[in-house]
Chains A and B, each alone.
Chain A
Amino acid sequence: MSETLLAAEGVVAGYVRGLPIVHGASVSVARREIVTVIGPNGAGKSTLLKAIAGLLHIESGRISLSGREIGALAPHQIVRAGAGYVPQTGNVFTTLSIQENLKVGGHLLTAGDRSARLERAYIQFPVLAEKRRDRARTLSGGQRQMLAIARALMTDPVLLMLDEPTAGLAPKAVDEVFRQLRTLAEGGVAVLMVEQNAAAALRISDRGYVLAEGRNRFEGRADELLGDPRVNEAFLGKTRKTA
C-alpha cells in the first residue's frame, strides 16, 4: 500500500451535539486509490463524509489529510488543505450559470489560475463547455453530477469525496460518472465515495468499507468484499434492489 493520504480514526459525529450518528468509524485512503463506503441506510456513511468535509462538529476522533490535522478546521480551510467534496443533493448552484458554478468552485484561486482551470474543466467535460452560459438548473441529472465533480476539481484537490454520485442517474450516466472517477484516480487524485449502488461502485474501487450503525463492520480489498458471502447477503443483495 502506498502512503496514506486521508486517515480518519474513531470519528464520532452527528447533527446534534451529544446525539452522534457516526460512533467511532475509521477510514483511510491512499494516493491514487478509489475507496467506497457501503452500508444500509442510516449507517452514517453520508454523515462521515460531511464530518471529514468540516460541515459537522466532530465530538471525538482524529482526521488527517496529507499528514496535517484537519478535524478542527472550518470547511473552507479543509478545501484549502486539499479535499474536494461533492454532496449527494444540492451539489450545484441552480441559480448560477455553469461557468459561474465553476468560478465559485475556484473561489480560492487567483484570477489567472481560475481561467486556466476553467479551460481545463471544459476540455475534460465537453458537455459543460457547450452549456457554459446556461443556468445549472437546466442540466440533466448526469450533467449536474459532472458539473459538481468539475466544480470540486477546480482547486486541484488531492482527495475527492463523493456522496452517492450515481443516485438517480440513468445507467449510461452511471457508467460515465464511474469512468470519470477511474480517470481521475489514474491521474493521481484519491477518491472516497459513499454508494448505494454498492456492487457497481466496488467493481471500480480498490478497497471498500462496510459501515453499519455508525461503526466499521467489514473492510478489505474491493474484490474480496464482492466475493465475501457475509457482505453479499447482508449488504450487496439488499442494496442492489433498492438502488
Chain B
Amino acid sequence: MIAQALFDGILTGAIIALGAIGVSFTLQIMRFANFAHSELLTWGAYLALVFVAFAGPGTPTGPLSFGWQLVAAAGFAAVLTGLLAWAVDAVVFRRLRKGGAHPLTMVFAAFGAALVLRHVVVLIWGHESRYYTRELQMAYEIVPGVRVLPDQIFILALAVLVVIALHLFLTYSRTGMAMRAMAESPPLAQICGIEVDAVIRTTWILGGALAALAGVFTGLTPQLHPEIGFNLLLALFAAAILGGTGSLPGAVVGGLLVGIAENVSLLWISPGYKQAMPFLLLLAVLLVRPQGIFAEKK
C-alpha cells in the first residue's frame, strides 16, 4: 500500500515540480507570485490536444497508449505556451513592472490574467472532459504491490530528462548563469552587463514550456478539463516555497515532497483533506527553515 502511494506520489510530484520551476523562477526573478502560472498548464494541455486533433495520438508504441505524435504534440505545446507566457507578460505584467507597481498589484493582475486565460479555454474547448487517446492500458506490477502504467513510467523518465537538461542549461550556459545572477541580485546582474528584459523573456518562455509539459502529462493521466491547471495551483506554490524560491533542486524536491505527502496521506485520511497536506508540510518546514529547504539565507 505505502509503496504504491509512494510511486503515485513521485509521479504526481514530478509533474508538480515541472510547474513549480516556473513559479519559483518568477517569484525569484520578477519578485511576484504569478497565480496565472497554473493556467499555462491548462493551455499547454489543450494546445497539445489541437496538435493531436490534426495528427492523431499515433498508434500505440510498445506498451504505451500513444505514438510519437503525442510527444511531438507536447513539444508543439511547449513552444506555443512559452510564447503565450511571454505574450501575457507583454500585455499585462511588463507595463505594471515598468510603472513600478507594488508586488500586490502584480498578484491581483495575475489573478485577473488567470481568470481570462481559464475562461478562454472554456470558450474554445468547452467544459467537458477530453482525452488524448482512448487506448486502454494494462498496469504492470513492477514490484510486489506496486502497479504502474507504462505511460506513467514514460512521463517520469521524460520529466527526469527535462530537469537534467534544465540543470545543465542553468549551470553551464551563458544565459543560464545570467538567470541565476538575476535570481540573486537584479541590480548586480545589470551592472555586469546583463539585460534584464532578455532574462525575463527567457524566464517566461522556459517557465511556460515546462508548464505545458506538466499540463500534457496531467492530461495524459487520464483526461483534460479546463481546471487541470487551477486544481494544481496551490500545490505548485507549496512546492516552490517549500524548496526555496529560485532553486531548481528546490522546486524539484518541493514538488516530490508535495506529491508524496498528498498521496501517502490518503492511506489515513479522507481524500477531501488531501490538498491540505502540502500546507501542513509547508508549515512544518518553514518553522525550521524559513527560507525553504534549498535557498540560502539572505
A residues in contact (CB < 8 Å) with B:
53-55, 74-76, 79-80, 84-85, 87, 90-96, 100, 103-105, 107-108, 111, 137, 151-152, 155
Contact = CB atoms under 8 A, between A and B. Distances in A.
Contact of B194 (A76, A87, A90, A94): A76
Interface stretch (B180-188, B216-224, B254-262, B273-281): B180-188
Given A95-B180, A155-B193, A107 B174 contact: yes
B193 A76 contact: yes
B177 to A, nearest CB: 5
A55 B185 contact: no
Interface of B: 174, 177-178, 180-181, 183-185, 187-196, 296
Contacts of B190: 54-55, 74-76
Contacts of B196: 74, 76
B178 A107 contact: yes
Contact of A87 (B177, B180, B183, B187): B187
A59 B178 CA distance: 30
A217 B254 CA distance: 56
A53 B187 CA distance: 10
B188 A94 contact: no
Contacts of B177: 96, 100, 103-104, 107
A95 B188 contact: no
Most chain A CB inside 10 Å of its own CB: which residue of B178, B181, B189: B181
Contacts, number: 69
B188 A87 contact: yes
Contacts of B184: 93-96
B192 A94 contact: no
Most chain A CB inside 10 Å of its own CB: which residue of B187, B188, B195: B188
A98 to B, nearest CB: 13
A170 to B, nearest CB: 24
Given A96-B177, A104-B181, A76 B187 contact: no
A55 B296 CA distance: 26
30 contacts: A55-B187, A55-B191, A76-B193, A76-B194, A76-B196, A79-B191, A80-B193, A85-B191, A87-B187, A90-B185, A90-B187, A93-B180, A93-B181, A93-B185, A94-B184, A95-B180, A95-B183, A96-B177, A96-B180, A96-B181, A96-B184, A100-B177, A103-B177, A104-B178, A107-B178, A107-B181, A107-B192, A108-B193, A111-B174, A155-B193
Nearest to A111: B174
A144 B45 CA distance: 47
Top-4 shortest CB links A-B:
A75-B190, A79-B193, A108-B193, A104-B181
A76 B195 contact: yes
A93 B188 contact: yes
A91 B190 CA distance: 12
A152 B187 CA distance: 14
B37 to A, nearest CB: 23
Contacts of B188: 87, 90-93
A133 to B, nearest CB: 13
A107 B296 contact: no
B74 to A, nearest CB: 32
Contact of A74 (B183, B189, B195): B195
B296 A104 contact: no
Contacts of B189: 104
A55 B187 CA distance: 7
A7 to B, nearest CB: 20
Nearest to A86: B191
B193 A87 contact: no
Contacts of A84: 191
A177 to B, nearest CB: 19
Contacts of B180: 93, 95-96, 100
B277 to A, nearest CB: 30
Given A87-B188, A104-B194, 12 more contacts: A75-B190, A76-B194, A76-B196, A85-B191, A91-B188, A92-B188, A94-B296, A95-B183, A95-B184, A107-B193, A108-B193, A111-B174
Nearest to A100: B177
A95 B296 contact: yes
B192 A79 contact: yes
A100 to B, nearest CB: 6
Given A87-B187, A90-B188, A95-B180, A137 B296 contact: yes
A92 B188 CA distance: 8
Nearest to B298: A94
Contacts of A100: 177, 180
Contacts of A103: 174, 177
Contacts of B183: 95
Contacts of B195: 74, 76
Contacts of B193: 76, 79-80, 107-108, 155
